[in-house]
Structure 1
Amino acid sequence: MPICRVKSGAVEERHNAKTNSINRSQTVGLDLGNGFELPFRVGLGQRPAYPPGEYDIDPQSFALSEYGDLVLKRYVDLVPLQAKAAPVAAKA
Protein backbone atom coordinates (compact mmCIF):
# COMPACT_ATOMS: atom_id res chain seq x y z
CA MET A 1 0.00 0.00 0.00
CA PRO A 2 1.43 3.41 -0.91
CA ILE A 3 2.10 5.69 2.04
CA CYS A 4 2.29 9.49 1.93
CA ARG A 5 4.86 10.86 4.37
CA VAL A 6 4.78 14.45 5.54
CA LYS A 7 8.22 15.19 6.97
CA SER A 8 7.76 18.89 7.67
CA GLY A 9 4.90 21.25 8.38
CA ALA A 10 6.59 23.88 6.18
CA VAL A 11 4.28 25.57 3.68
CA GLU A 12 5.50 26.89 0.33
CA GLU A 13 3.82 30.08 -0.87
CA ARG A 14 4.02 31.29 -4.46
CA HIS A 15 2.61 34.58 -5.64
CA ASN A 16 0.53 34.43 -8.84
CA ALA A 17 0.90 37.82 -10.53
CA LYS A 18 -1.94 37.16 -13.00
CA THR A 19 -4.59 36.60 -10.35
CA ASN A 20 -2.80 38.49 -7.58
CA SER A 21 -3.22 35.49 -5.28
CA ILE A 22 -0.96 33.25 -3.24
CA ASN A 23 -0.78 29.51 -3.96
CA ARG A 24 0.01 27.51 -0.83
CA SER A 25 1.35 23.95 -0.99
CA GLN A 26 3.23 21.39 1.02
CA THR A 27 5.76 18.80 -0.15
CA VAL A 28 4.89 15.17 0.58
CA GLY A 29 6.81 11.97 -0.18
CA LEU A 30 4.93 9.06 -1.79
CA ASP A 31 6.43 5.70 -0.77
CA LEU A 32 5.37 2.96 -3.19
CA GLY A 33 6.97 0.25 -1.06
CA ASN A 34 10.27 0.03 -2.92
CA GLY A 35 12.28 2.12 -0.42
CA PHE A 36 12.22 5.28 -2.54
CA GLU A 37 9.93 8.26 -2.05
CA LEU A 38 8.55 10.34 -4.91
CA PRO A 39 8.12 13.97 -3.84
CA PHE A 40 4.92 15.73 -4.88
CA ARG A 41 3.06 18.88 -3.87
CA VAL A 42 -0.26 18.93 -2.08
CA GLY A 43 -2.22 22.14 -2.71
CA LEU A 44 -3.55 23.58 0.53
CA GLY A 45 -5.67 26.53 -0.54
CA GLN A 46 -6.65 28.16 2.75
CA ARG A 47 -6.45 24.89 4.71
CA PRO A 48 -3.85 24.46 7.45
CA ALA A 49 -0.67 22.50 6.79
CA TYR A 50 -0.59 18.78 7.50
CA PRO A 51 1.52 17.90 10.55
CA PRO A 52 4.40 15.45 10.07
CA GLY A 53 3.26 11.84 9.91
CA GLU A 54 2.06 9.06 7.62
CA TYR A 55 -1.07 9.46 5.51
CA ASP A 56 -3.17 7.80 2.85
CA ILE A 57 -4.86 9.65 -0.01
CA ASP A 58 -8.56 10.20 0.61
CA PRO A 59 -10.58 8.25 -2.00
CA GLN A 60 -12.59 11.45 -2.65
CA SER A 61 -9.38 12.97 -4.10
CA PHE A 62 -9.53 10.71 -7.17
CA ALA A 63 -11.46 11.58 -10.33
CA LEU A 64 -11.72 10.59 -13.98
CA SER A 65 -10.41 12.81 -16.75
CA GLU A 66 -12.45 13.64 -19.83
CA TYR A 67 -10.77 10.62 -21.50
CA GLY A 68 -11.56 8.21 -18.66
CA ASP A 69 -8.08 8.25 -17.10
CA LEU A 70 -7.68 8.13 -13.33
CA VAL A 71 -6.37 11.48 -12.03
CA LEU A 72 -5.99 13.31 -8.74
CA LYS A 73 -8.09 16.38 -8.13
CA ARG A 74 -6.42 19.76 -7.71
CA TYR A 75 -6.66 19.67 -3.92
CA VAL A 76 -5.68 16.25 -2.59
CA ASP A 77 -6.90 15.40 0.89
CA LEU A 78 -4.72 13.24 3.12
CA VAL A 79 -6.08 10.95 5.84
CA PRO A 80 -3.86 10.01 8.80
CA LEU A 81 -3.13 6.27 8.76
CA GLN A 82 -4.10 5.94 12.43
CA ALA A 83 -7.57 7.32 11.65
CA LYS A 84 -8.15 4.64 8.99
CA ALA A 85 -7.59 1.73 11.33
CA ALA A 86 -10.94 0.75 12.82
CA PRO A 87 -10.84 -0.39 16.43
CA VAL A 88 -11.32 -4.13 16.87
CA ALA A 89 -14.15 -5.02 19.23
CA ALA A 90 -13.10 -7.24 22.11
CA LYS A 91 -14.77 -10.64 22.20
CA ALA A 92 -16.46 -11.55 25.47
Structure 2
Amino acid sequence: MPRINVKDTNVHERTFNGKDGKPQIIREQRAALDLGDGYELPFRVGLGSGPVYSVGAYDVSPESFSLGRFGDLELSRYLKLVMVKPTGAVAPKAA
Protein backbone atom coordinates (compact mmCIF):
# COMPACT_ATOMS: atom_id res chain seq x y z
CA MET A 1 0.00 0.00 0.00
CA PRO A 2 1.40 3.46 -0.85
CA ARG A 3 2.60 5.55 2.09
CA ILE A 4 3.34 9.22 2.48
CA ASN A 5 6.58 9.92 4.37
CA VAL A 6 7.16 13.27 6.06
CA LYS A 7 10.84 13.60 6.95
CA ASP A 8 11.03 17.09 8.44
CA THR A 9 8.79 19.88 9.69
CA ASN A 10 10.14 22.65 7.46
CA VAL A 11 7.41 24.84 5.96
CA HIS A 12 8.05 26.60 2.67
CA GLU A 13 6.14 29.86 2.21
CA ARG A 14 5.66 31.77 -1.01
CA THR A 15 4.11 35.22 -1.12
CA PHE A 16 2.49 36.83 -4.17
CA ASN A 17 -0.12 39.48 -4.91
CA GLY A 18 -3.58 38.08 -5.62
CA LYS A 19 -6.00 39.34 -8.25
CA ASP A 20 -7.30 41.86 -5.74
CA GLY A 21 -3.76 43.17 -5.16
CA LYS A 22 -3.61 41.83 -1.61
CA PRO A 23 -0.64 39.67 -0.61
CA GLN A 24 -1.33 35.92 -0.53
CA ILE A 25 0.78 33.27 1.20
CA ILE A 26 1.08 29.66 0.06
CA ARG A 27 2.32 27.30 2.79
CA GLU A 28 3.70 23.93 1.75
CA GLN A 29 5.55 21.04 3.33
CA ARG A 30 7.66 18.50 1.48
CA ALA A 31 6.78 14.82 1.60
CA ALA A 32 7.46 11.69 -0.43
CA LEU A 33 5.18 9.02 -1.84
CA ASP A 34 6.55 5.52 -1.22
CA LEU A 35 5.01 2.97 -3.58
CA GLY A 36 6.87 0.11 -1.92
CA ASP A 37 9.48 -0.38 -4.63
CA GLY A 38 12.34 1.28 -2.74
CA TYR A 39 12.04 4.60 -4.58
CA GLU A 40 10.21 7.64 -3.28
CA LEU A 41 8.49 10.36 -5.31
CA PRO A 42 8.90 13.77 -3.63
CA PHE A 43 5.98 16.20 -3.75
CA ARG A 44 4.53 19.20 -1.91
CA VAL A 45 1.65 19.02 0.55
CA GLY A 46 -0.39 22.26 0.60
CA LEU A 47 -1.05 23.27 4.20
CA GLY A 48 -3.33 26.26 3.70
CA SER A 49 -3.81 27.65 7.21
CA GLY A 50 -3.62 24.14 8.72
CA PRO A 51 -0.98 22.73 11.05
CA VAL A 52 2.41 21.34 10.06
CA TYR A 53 2.63 17.55 9.82
CA SER A 54 5.09 15.93 12.21
CA VAL A 55 7.77 13.53 10.99
CA GLY A 56 6.38 10.06 10.28
CA ALA A 57 4.44 7.81 7.92
CA TYR A 58 0.95 8.76 6.76
CA ASP A 59 -1.97 7.49 4.73
CA VAL A 60 -4.16 9.79 2.65
CA SER A 61 -7.43 10.47 4.48
CA PRO A 62 -10.62 9.35 2.71
CA GLU A 63 -11.76 13.01 3.01
CA SER A 64 -9.17 13.87 0.34
CA PHE A 65 -11.03 11.92 -2.37
CA SER A 66 -14.16 12.96 -4.23
CA LEU A 67 -16.02 12.31 -7.46
CA GLY A 68 -15.81 14.86 -10.23
CA ARG A 69 -18.62 16.11 -12.47
CA PHE A 70 -18.26 13.15 -14.81
CA GLY A 71 -17.74 10.45 -12.18
CA ASP A 72 -13.94 10.61 -12.21
CA LEU A 73 -11.99 10.14 -9.00
CA GLU A 74 -10.40 13.40 -7.86
CA LEU A 75 -7.84 14.18 -5.20
CA SER A 76 -8.21 17.35 -3.15
CA ARG A 77 -5.72 20.14 -3.68
CA TYR A 78 -5.10 20.20 0.06
CA LEU A 79 -4.46 16.60 1.07
CA LYS A 80 -5.42 15.53 4.54
CA LEU A 81 -3.01 13.00 5.97
CA VAL A 82 -3.61 10.47 8.73
CA MET A 83 -0.59 9.27 10.71
CA VAL A 84 0.04 5.53 10.52
CA LYS A 85 0.44 3.87 13.89
CA PRO A 86 3.78 2.05 14.10
CA THR A 87 3.41 -1.72 13.79
CA GLY A 88 4.15 -3.57 16.97
CA ALA A 89 3.14 -0.59 19.10
CA VAL A 90 1.88 -1.74 22.47
CA ALA A 91 -0.82 0.17 24.32
CA PRO A 92 0.23 1.24 27.80
CA LYS A 93 -1.05 -0.96 30.63
CA ALA A 94 -3.79 0.40 32.83
CA ALA A 95 -2.69 1.11 36.40
**How high is the TM-score relative to the length of structure 2?**
0.80
Number of residues of Structure 1 aligned to a counterpart in Structure 2: 84
Residues 33-71 of structure 1: CA distance to partner in whole angstroms, max 9, x if unpaired? 111111111111111210110000001101122232212
1:73-88 equivalences in 2 (<5 Å): 73-82=76-85
Identify if the C-alpha distance between structure 1 residues 34 and 25 changes in structure 2 by more than 3 Å, giving closer, same or farther. same
Residue in structure 2 matched with residue 68 of structure 1 by the alignment: 71
Aligned equivalents of 1:65, 1:38: Cα separation in 2 = 25
Whichever of the two has the greater Rg, that structure is 2
Structure number with the higher helix fraction is 1
Unmatched tracts of structure 2, length 5 or more: 91-95
Q: Secondary structure at the match of 2:57?
A: strand
Give structure 1 regions of 4+ aligned residues with deviation exceeding 3 angstroms. Answer: none
Unmatched tracts of structure 1, length 5 or more: 88-92
Computed over aligned residues only, the root mean square deviation of the Cα atoms, in angstroms, reads: 1.7
Aligned equivalents of 1:65, 1:11: Cα separation in 2 = 30
Alignment-mate amino acid for residue 9 of structure 1: T
State the percentage of identical aligned residues.
Answer: 49
